Amino acid sequence: MRVTVKIGTSSLTTDGGEVSVDAIGKLAAEVALLCTAGHQVAIVTSAAIAAGLPSLGYRPDRRPRDADLLRAASAIGQISLIVTYRDALAANGLAAGQVLLAPTDFWYRNRYLKSRGTIQALLSRGVVPVINENDAVADDEIRFGDNDRLAALVAHLIEADRLVLLTDTAGLFTADPRTDTSASLIEEIVEFDQRLEEMAGGPGSGSARGGMASKLAAAKIATWSGVETVIAWSDRPSVLVDAVGGKPGIGTVFRPRSARLPARKLWIAFALPASGRVVVDAGARIALERRQRSLLAAGVTKLDGSFAADDAVEVVDADGEVFAKGLVKWSSEDLARHAGRRTTDLPEELNDEVIHRDDLVILPV
């Protein structure tokens, strides 16, 4: 198997925000067992920012809002983080290779192919890629948002068979186990629905950007990539080995879809926040869903929100059902002015398509 494993900040750092040598040592030992068994493993790691904050005088649970400070913390913390991984993997007979990625590495095909080639070259030679977002120079307007999404996109990038999200809880529960003692673990999920989103709740620990909601979003991305996903407790003995081996009760398992979406459409569908909504008529929905056409102004009945060209928007039918998402070619002002008009009646400076079919993703309903 080819495996992507992501481990979160809360599982990797001490209460003081320092990188936990024991936690990384445990992970490295389990990765070594998988590699000995013939599997290939890529690690997506968090904790660079949290590890660097104490050096700047901040507690990890009191993150500053200043973007420059956060980038500086990442630059500091990334050093101790990767050195700890290098040493832990070396102690288990493995070499580590650091890979820092940005969202644009998934947007543009040449960068996508180069990123994939680098990671595959490492894997094929028995080296363990240790992957993180390049937070030290990250663009605040274009970023993954959390490493759960990054891990899901990496799983797609390298055509992984399994994605394992290691966290500080045993999986997805029917309610928040921190406040509801009757909450029970959901061991298998085949389809996503609104009830699952409600169960996921909000953010997790103060030192991390993610939480169960972000893990659920990552599982959705991965399963749409055809990758089986497991959410499990990082401290559990042999958790990674058992998750890859399919041991029952190891956590929450998300079964994959048979069809795979291209990486860019995965990013549009699940990683980019929607800036607004575009409501379309029944004919436009049929054209988009069944005929794989672009969305034209003639099919738009109204819109909600303020957005610029190239922003992500949800596409909604007359009943309010979201059935697609895409990148608009028009601003909300232009669309409000020309919604419902035929292409031949539009000003020459506007694109014929409101959303081009290559920038549109049909969502599950």
Please say if the pLDDT value at position 140 is more than 60: no
Please say if the pLDDT value at position 104 is more than 90: no
State the pLDDT at residue 203.
44
Rounded to whole angstroms, how far apart are CA atoms 166 and 241?
12
Among the listed ranges 106-115, 135-144, 319-328, which one has the minimum average pLDDT value?
135-144
Please say if the pLDDT value at position 183 is more than 90: no
Please say if the pLDDT value at position 365 is more than 60: no
State the pLDDT at residue 207.
41
Return the higher-pLDDT residue of 209 and 95. 95
Which tens digit of pLDDT belongs to each residue from 209-235?
447 888 888 888 889 888 999 999 999
Report residue 205's pLDDT band, with 50, 70 and 90 as the boundaries.
Answer: very low
Which tens digit of pLDDT belongs to each residue from 41-59?
999 999 898 888 888 998 7
19 C-beta neighbours (distance < 10 Å), count: 23
169 C-beta neighbours (distance < 10 Å), count: 21
Domains and CATH numbers, the chain: 2-266 (3.40.1160.10), 273-362 (2.30.130.10)
Q: What's the whole-number mean pLDDT along residues 94-105?
A: 92
Bridge pairing between strands 322-327 and 295-296? unpaired
Q: Enter the pTM of the model.
A: 0.80
| DSSP-assigned letters across all residues of 81-132 | HHHHHHHHHHHTT-EEEEEEE-THHHHSHHHHHHHHHHHHHHHHTTEEEEEE
State the pLDDT at residue 9.
87
- pLDDT mean across residues, the chain: 88
In percent, how much of the chain has pLDDT > 70? Answer: 91
Report residue 244's pLDDT band, with 50, 70 and 90 as the boundaries.
Answer: very high
State the pLDDT at residue 208.
42
State the pLDDT at residue 209.
46
Per the CB < 8 A criterion, the answer to whether 330 and 350 are in contact is: yes
**147-157 and 212-224 helices cross at what angle (nearest 10)?**
10
Please say if the pLDDT value at position 144 is more than 80: no
Which range is most confident: 86-95, 202-211, 313-322? 86-95
